[in-house]
Amino acid sequence: MTTSAPQIDRTADEPNVIEVPNPADGTIVGKVQIDTAETVTTKVADLRRHQPAWAALGPSGRKDWLLKFQDWIFDNADRITATVQSESGKARVDASVEPLFVADLIGYYARNAEKFLAEQHPTPHNPLAKVKKLTTVYRPYPVVGVITPWNFPFAMPGLDVIPALTAGAAVLLKPSEVTPLSAVEFARGWTEIGAPPVLALATGRGGTGAAVVENVDYVQFTGSTRTGRSIAKACAERLLPYSLELGGKDPAIVLADADIDRAAAGIAYGGMFNSGQVCISIERVYVEAPVYQEFVDKLTRNVAELRQGQDGKDIEHDVGAMATQTQRDIVARHVDEAVAAGAQVVVGGKPTGVGTFFEPTVLVDVTQDMSCVQEETFGPTLPVIKVADADEAIRLANDSQYGLSATVWTGDRNRGEQIARRLDVGAVNINDAFANLFSYALPMGGWKDSGVGARWGGAAGLLKYCRVQAITTPRLPTQTKELLWFPYSPAKVGVAFGVMRAAGARGLRKLGLSR
């Protein structure tokens, strides 16, 4: 869930402080201190001291604290929502989703952790190997660094901090400098319930993030592809494991047999939720020619009806502001470049109001080479392209450096699954938008420039934060020496190799004979 990190104005008289504005009106809503490399090092050292005791609690002991944290989130949901709104400019509903989403994720992993983290005893590969008991143990990385973007300032920390804590790791959370206040609330909640001090917060800009990478044992990063490459290089220098969720340019394919009313409604939602600032936002739409005009008419009507603004406690709007001026400028550039190249705006198309609002926009007469199709927009725009058939739609959908997710809209679910298997993306939703985002049993990860690794995926979402240890234990009484221990002798080697051949070969080769 990502875009390039923008620059925001700082106060000259407080060089160690970041001021946080509300993008909807520009008012300053809070401040945070900048953590230096030295303070990051100190925080990681403190986390290392407390992590062994946290791991020793085991899944059931950690479950108790996680469910207390879940209770705290429910009890403080209104305050969290207000904080999210104040620094992101979101509409009320979009902000309200975030604490509920994190609470739901906590419940899933807390209640399944014991099963997901249980030691495994794989079956030996042949009868001879059964003299050993085989055990796989999952031991958490001591300190995980989680670096999050600005588009979901409370939910994004939860997506990765919760599984890491559940696995038994300590976590250093570094939020975006654009929206750090929600992460402050996140860390405050962990402290207020009296939980062990295995979650710490590091606020700052790029230098703070670099210090996190230099000190932790595993890095989970969500953000721009450009920054992700830099983090991957830094991790490689340290031989540090990492997982990256990066940019997206998600396509929607609308087939002629689709329920056009549902497709138009679902794509409007999938493209405009959170002002299009979602990693898996629908950012380009390919529609089969027989239903193209019907779809465009219905999509245009749905988008034109959206109410834009920032709510107080009442729900009055559907779409909020962009999180930064920089992001709004990217959206404006993509629209302007498309129009200059021959595209038509059928609704929206320009900045509006005070702050960083941009009108929900639908573009037609779009071509594949336009920036609004090739580059990540991360804003409330939907470029629509007419295609001859499903094969052309698939070819154009795959014509992208990104491969995060896609949607397919069709009246034939089996055909939808067949098309899904031809798309070069990490997830495909059929006749729906964002469904995989709420399916924790599925992995969420991108292909190509959209990332490395995945989050969630049931047990995999916890095991990614663990080091895997193999243990072999004798099942039978042992002798002083094994057959192949020194000193070698022809007789012992012959017996050992004969047994190995008999266990692994086929037919007469078991006896050392050719067929």
Cα angle vertex 306, ends 302, 308, to 5°? Answer: 160
Q: Are 289 and 391 members of one domain?
A: yes
Please indicate whether residue 245 is annotated as part of the active site.
yes
Say yes or no to pLDDT of 7 above 70.
no
Average pLDDT over residues 474-481: 94
Cα angle vertex 120, ends 427, 465, to 5°? Answer: 50
Say yes or no to pLDDT of 11 above 90.
no
The single-letter code of the amino acid at 484 is: L
Say yes or no to pLDDT of 5 above 50.
no
In this structure, is residue 59 part of a structural domain?
yes
Average pLDDT, the chain: 95
- Please pick, among 87, 98, 177, 245, the residue that the annotation labels catalytic: 245
Q: Are 238 and 264 members of one domain?
A: no
User: Using 50, 70 and 90 to split pLDDT, how confident is the model at 513?
Assistant: confident
Q: Are 226 and 254 members of one domain?
A: no
pLDDT of residue 14: 66
Q: Are 76 and 179 members of one domain?
A: yes
Average pLDDT over residues 466-475: 97
Question: What is the tally of structural domains in the chain?
Answer: 3
- Among residues 184, 188, 166, 164, the alpha carbon closest in space to that of 175 is found at 184
Percent of the chain scored above 90 by pLDDT?
A: 92
What tens digit of pLDDT does each residue of 243-265 get? 999 999 999 999 999 999 999 99
Q: Name every residue whose Cβ is closer than 8 Å to that of residue 181 and which is 6 or more positions away in sequence.
A: 20, 29, 30, 32, 83, 86, 87, 153
CATH number at residue 234: 3.40.605.10
Q: Are 331 and 422 members of one domain?
A: yes
Q: Are 398 and 424 in contact (CB under 8 A)?
A: yes
pLDDT of residue 515: 65
In this structure, is residue 471 part of a structural domain?
no
What tens digit of pLDDT does each residue of 218-229 get? 999 999 999 999
Q: Are 183 and 308 members of one domain?
A: no
Q: Are 409 and 263 in contact (CB under 8 A)?
A: yes
Q: Are 270 and 313 members of one domain?
A: yes
In this structure, is residue 8 part of a structural domain?
no
What tens digit of pLDDT does each residue of 424-434 get? 999 999 999 99
Alpha-carbon dihedral sign for residues 319, 325, 328, 332: positive
CA atoms within 13 A of residue 243's CA, in its CB half-sphere? 24
- Among residues 377, 308, 378, 335, the alpha carbon closest in space to that of 24 is found at 308
CATH number at residue 281: 3.40.309.10
In this structure, is residue 385 part of a structural domain?
yes
In this structure, is residue 27 part of a structural domain?
no
Domain membership of residue 148 as a residue range: 38-114+140-246+459-465
Q: Are 105 and 194 members of one domain?
A: yes
Q: Are 233 and 274 members of one domain?
A: no
* Rounded CA Rg of the chain: 27
Q: Are 78 and 196 members of one domain?
A: yes
Quote the CA–CA distance of 411 and 390 in Å, as a whole number.
Answer: 13
What tens digit of pLDDT does each residue of 53-111 get? 999 999 999 999 999 999 999 999 999 999 999 999 999 999 999 999 999 999 999 99
If you count them, how many residues does the chain have?
515
Quote the CA–CA distance of 192 and 13 in Å, as a whole number.
Answer: 32
In this structure, is residue 390 part of a structural domain?
yes
- 242-245/451-452 β-pairing: antiparallel
pLDDT of residue 353: 76
Q: Name every residue whose Cβ is closer than 8 Å to that of residue 63 and which is 6 or more positions away in sequence.
A: 110, 111, 113, 114, 166
Q: Are 257 and 320 members of one domain?
A: yes
pLDDT of residue 313: 77
In this structure, is residue 107 part of a structural domain?
yes
Model-level pTM? 0.95
What tens digit of pLDDT does each residue of 300-357 get? 999 999 999 987 777 889 999 999 999 999 999 999 999 999 999 999 999 987 899 9
In this structure, is residue 26 part of a structural domain?
no
Q: What is the distance, to the nearest Å, from the Cα of residue 442 to the centroid of all Cα atoms in its chain?
A: 12
What tens digit of pLDDT does each residue of 142-166 get? 999 999 999 999 999 999 999 999 9
Tokens of 301: 């009507």
Q: Are 81 and 204 members of one domain?
A: yes
